[in-house]
Structure 1
C-alpha cells in the first residue's frame, strides 16, 4: 500500500466534507446539528445512521458502523485505504505525492494496468460486434432469453467473432505485443498457428471486479460446439476463487441478503426482474475465498441453485463453507422449475419473492436431504436416521442454538424432544471422549456461560473507558479539570490508550480536538471502526448526543455519571499497574502511591461541566 504522511492524509480528509460525500450515497435529513438517514450497511426502517459535520464522522447506532470519510469509502466501496485516498484526493483536487516503487513493483503495477486495458478493449470490441451484422446470432440468442436492451447494456454483453484470430488481430492493431496478450488469457500463441483467440463464436459475458473493472470473460458457444460455457483462465488480474459475477452491482443492494446463483444467466435474469442482490461463482464450486468475499457485504446468503441433483449437491457443499465464516444461509426452493431464470419466466418476480420469503433454513434443508437416504417406514432405518440427525446436531456449540434446532427437528419428524436431546448428549459425550476426554455437550456449554459472565464483567470497564473518551470529545472543557487525575496512562485498553494519547496531545497543542483525524491514524479497518465507536458511546440514562446539552438529561445526572466513570477508570488503572508492576520497580511503586492519593482527592471533589 502507498505510504502517505499524516499531513497529506489530513489535507485530503479536511477538504472532503463528510456530509457532502455521504450525501452522494445516502439520503440525509438534518436534525439539530447532526444529519440522519437509513444505514447503508444494514437493513433498517428507522434511520439510526448519523453524520456529524462537527466531528466529521459517521456512526450507526443500529449496527455500530462508524468512522471518518476514508472509512466510509473503504466500507461502502470496499476500497483499500490507498484507493480511498486517491478517490478523495481526486474529488478535492489534491495532488498526491508520487509514490516511490522498486523497479520490480513498478513493472508489476504496469503489467496489471496493461492487462486491465486489454480486457477493457476486448469488452468494448465484443460489445460492438454484438450490435453489428456479425453479432446477429448472439443477439438473437439474448433476445430469446428475454433480455432487454437495457439489461444487455448494463452487463456489457457482447459477441466474439466466428473467426478464431479476430480479437488477436484487433488487439495487435491497438499496439499490444504477443507477450502481454498471451498473459491476458484472451489469446494463445504457438509457432504453428501463430496467435488465435480463446473465445470465438460465443455470446460473451464480461466479468467485472467490485470496482467495475473487466478482469475476465465467460462465453457461451453459438451452436453445438464444446464446451458449452468457457471462462477466462486465471491471470494476474483474474482469480476465480476470489471474485463473484454480479457483485459489482449487488454490493450496493439495500436488500437484507445476497442471492447466490450457479450461472451468469441466472444472475442477469434476477437483476432484470428487480433482484439486484444476485451473484454467482465463476464456473467453479464455492470456495472459502468466495465466502469471505460475501461476508464483507452481507451476513445472510440465500442459495438459489438449480433444483436438480447437481444443484442439491452444490448447495450441500456450499452450506458448511458459508457457515464457517459466520454467514447465515437459507435455500430457495424453485421446483417445479430448474433455475431462477426458468422460474421467473414462468411465474414472475412476485412469486419468486414469495420463495425468498419462505426459503428453508440450511440445517433443515440438510436434514431433509439426509432423510432421503433412509426408509422412514422401516423402524431400523428410521432409528439410524435419528442417530445421524443427533450426530449433526452436535455440531452446534452454542446450547441455546442447539436446543432450538432439537425442538425444530423433534417437531418436524415426530420424535420426543427429550428423547432426541438425550441422543444428542450421548453423541456429545462420545465425541468428547474421542477427542481425548473433553466434557459432554451440556458441561461444555456451562463452561462457556462461566467464561461469558467473566467477559461481561470485563466489558464494564471497557465501556467506562469508552464513555470517558466520548465525554472528553463532547466537553473539551473537562480536560483542565481532570488531567491532574486522569492521564492517557489510565486507559488500560491498548487502542483506547493510543486514542487518549492523541486526544490529550491535540488539546494541549490547540485547545481543541479533532476526532476524524484520530480515525485516520489507524490504518486497520477494524481499529477504525472501534475508534469511531469510542466517540459515540452511551449509557442508559445519560446520552452524549452533541445536539442537546448533556444529552437532554439534567446537569446533576450527567455530572454524577461523569464522576463515577472517572473514579472507576482511575481505580482500574491503579489495580492494572500494580498487577503488572515489577517488584523492584521503585519508580512505578511511587507512581502507584501518588495515584492512590489522587484517587482519594478525586473522590472528594465535585467535577462540573460548566
Structure 2
C-alpha cells in the first residue's frame, strides 16, 4: 500500500461524514442523537446497528462489528485500508499525493492493469459471441439448463468460438502482443501452431474477484471434447486457491450464512432461484485460503456438495477446515438428487429452503459417516464405534455442557446410555489429557471472569468521556490512562487523553486509525459505544458516572498494591498520591 501521512488520512476521514457514507448502503433512521438500521453484516429483524455522528463511528450491538468510515468500507466492500482511503478520497474530491514507485513496481502494476484489461476484453467478446449466430449452440445449452437471459447477463456468460485462434486474432487486433497474451492464460504460444486459444468451442463462465473484476474463466466444452471443464491457469492476477466463484455477488447477501457448492452451474442455479449467498471453489478442493476468505463474510456455511461418495469425501475434508476458523458448518441433504442444480429443477426453491432449515449439524454428520465403517450388529464393532465417538466428543468440545448436549443426541440416535457415553468421554479425556480441569465441572457452566465487570466500567467511562468532554476536567489529575487496566481500554485511554491535552477537537474515530486489524477496530468501537441500561433521571446518571470513576480508581490502586515492592519508594509515593486522588473523587460532585 502507498504511504499516506496521518494528516492526509484525517483529511479524507473528516470530509466523509459517516452517516452519509453508510446511509448510501444501509437505510438509517434517526433516534435521538444517533442513527439506527439493520446491520449489513448479519441478518436481523430488529435494528441494532448504530451510527453516531458525534463520534463518527458505527457499532452493531448484535454482531459487535464497529469502527469508523474506513473500517466500514473495509468490512462491507472487502477493501484494504488503502483501497478504502482511495475510494473515500475520490468521493470527497481529495487529491491524494502521487506515490513514487520503483521502476520494477511500476512495471508490475502496469502489467496487472493490462492483464485485467485483456480479461475484461475477452469477457465482453465471449458475451457478444453467445448472443450471435455463432454462439447458438452454447446459448441453447444454457437455455437447456433452464437459465434465463437475465441470469446469463448477470453472470456474464459467454461462448468461445469453434475456431481455435479466434480470440487470439481478436486480441491481437486490439493491440496486445504475444508475450502479454501468453501471460494472460487465455492464449498459448508455441513454435508449431503459433498463437492459439486456451478456450475454444466452450460455454464460458467469467470468474470475478470480490471487486467484480474478471480475473479468469471456466469453460465447458460443447460436444464430446476433453476435458469437459477447463479453467484458466494461474496468472499474476488469478490464484485459484484465493478466490471463490460468485463471491462478488454473494458477499452482499442479507442472509447470515453462505451456501458452499462444488460447481459453477450449481451456484448459478441457486442464485437464479433466489439463493444469492451461494459460492463455489474453483475446480479444486476447498483450500485454507478460500476458508479464510469466507470467514471475512460469514460465520456459518451450509455445504451443498454432491450427494455421491466424492461429495461426501469433500465435505469430510472441508468441515475441520471451516471449524478451525470459527465457521459453524451444516450439511444440506439433496438426496435423491445429485446436486443443487438438479434438486432445484426437480423440487423447486421452496423445498430447497426446507432442506437448508433441516441441514445436518457437521459433527453429527461426521459421526453418521463414521458409523458406516462399523458393523453395528456386531458387539465388538459397536463398542469400537462408541470408543471412537467418545474420543471425538472429548477433543471436539471444550465446554462440558455442549459436550453433554451432543452426547445426549448421539445416545438417542445410536441406542446407548447417555451417562455411559459421558463416562467413557471423561475417562478418555482425562487419561489422554484432552480435557481441561474446569471443563469437568459438574454443571458445565464457565465461571465469569472477575475482571469482566471492571472492563465494562472502564469502557463506560471512556464512552462517557467521548460524549461529555467536560467530564475530563473533573477527573484530570485524578485519573490517568494508567488507571485503565484492561489492555485495549488502556490504549484507547492513552489516545483519548492525548486528544484532550492537545486542545484540538475530540474525535474518537481518529483513534481507530491507529489500529490496522479490523477485529481491534471493532473492539475500540465497542469501547466507545458502551452503554448502561437507560437510567430514570439526571441524578441517577450522575450517580452512575461517579460510582464508575471511583470503582476504576479503587481497582487501579488494588492492582498497583499487589505488584508493589516495599523497597520501591517512588511507587509508594505514587500510591499515597493515588489514595489522595481517590478521596477527592469520593467528595467530588458530578454534574452533567
Both proteins in one fold, TM over 0.5 = yes
Q: Deviations over 1:506-540 (max 9, x none)?
A: 3344474212222223332122111111111123x
Residue 474 to residue 182, structure 1, CA distance change in 2 (3 Å): same
TM-score under structure 1 normalisation? 0.92
| 1:154-202 Cα distance to aligned partner (Å, 9 max, x none) | 0010111112122122222222222222221112212222222111111
Q: Are the counterparts in 2 of residues 127 and 159 from structure 1 also a CA contact under 8 Å?
A: yes
Match of 1:435 in 2: none
For residue 108 of structure 1, report the CA deviation from its aligned partner: 2.0
CA distance in 1, matches of 2:554, 2:211: 50
User: Which consecutive residues of structure 1, in runs of 5 or more, have no partner in the other structure?
Assistant: 433-437, 544-551
User: CA, structure 1 residues 194+357, in 2 after alignment: closer, same or farther (shift >3 Å)?
Assistant: same
Tell me the equivalent position of 2:589.
607
SS at match of 2:58: strand
Q: How far is 1:104 from its partner?
A: 2.5
Could you tell me how far apart the structure 1 residues matched to 2:442 and 2:202 are?
57
Q: Determine the C-alpha separation between the residues in 2 that align with 1:9 and 1:327.
A: 34
Q: What does 1:113-152 correspond to in 2, within 5 Å?
A: 113-152=113-152
The aligned counterpart of 1:370 is 370
Question: Greater shift after overlay, 404-413 or 561-570?
Answer: 561-570
Q: How much is the aligned-residue C-alpha RMSD, in angstroms?
A: 2.2
Which of residues 509, 513, 522 is equivalent to 2:506?
A: 513
Provide closer, same or farther for how the CA distance between residues 578 and 100 of structure 1 changes in structure 2, counting only shifts above 3 A: farther
Q: Does 1:273 align with 2:266?
A: no
Give the superposition deviation at 1:447: 8.1
Task: Assess, with a 3 A threshold, how the Cα gap between structure 1 residues 101 and 451 changes in structure 2: closer, same or farther.
Answer: farther
Q: Does 1:244 align with 2:244?
A: yes
| Contact 2:395-2:435 at 8 Å conserved across structures | no
1:160-309 to 2 correspondences below 5 Å: 160-309=160-309
Distance 1:429-1:224 versus aligned 2 partners, 3 A rule: same
| Residue 343 (structure 1) shift | 0.7
Q: Is 2:437 aligned against 1:443?
A: yes
Moved more, 63-72 or 380-389: 380-389
Partner in structure 2 of residue 592 of structure 1: 575
- State the SS of the aligned residue for 1:26: coil
Structure 1 residue 609: Cα displacement: 2.3
Equivalent residues of 1:263, 1:280 under 8 A apart = yes
Whether the 8 Å CA contact 2:407–2:422 is kept in 1: the answer is yes
User: Aligned pair count?
Assistant: 591
Tell me which residue corresponds to 1:389: 389
Q: In structure 1, what is the Cα distance between the partners aligned to 2:303 and 2:33?
A: 43
1:452-505 per-position Cα deviation (integer Å, ceiling 9, x unaligned): 64x711222222211110110121111111102112232233433332233223
| Residue pair 1:475, 1:609 contacting (<8 A) in 2 also | no
Residue 574 of structure 1 aligns with which residue? 557
Q: Which residue of 2 aligns with 1:352?
A: 352
What residue is the counterpart of 1:549 in the other structure? none
TM-aligned CA deviation for residue 263 of structure 1: 0.2
Cα distance in 2, alignment partners of residues 173 and 590 from structure 1 = 82
* TM-score, normalising length: structure 2: 0.95
Is the CA contact 1:66–1:533 (under 8 Å) kept in the aligned structure 2? yes
Higher alpha-carbon deviation: 174-183 or 575-584: 575-584
Gap runs ≥5 in structure 2: none
Provide the residue aligned with 2:424 in structure 1.
Answer: 423
Q: Between 214-223 and 371-380, report the one with greater CA deviation.
A: 371-380
Cα distance in structure 1, aligned partners of 2:343 and 2:79:
36
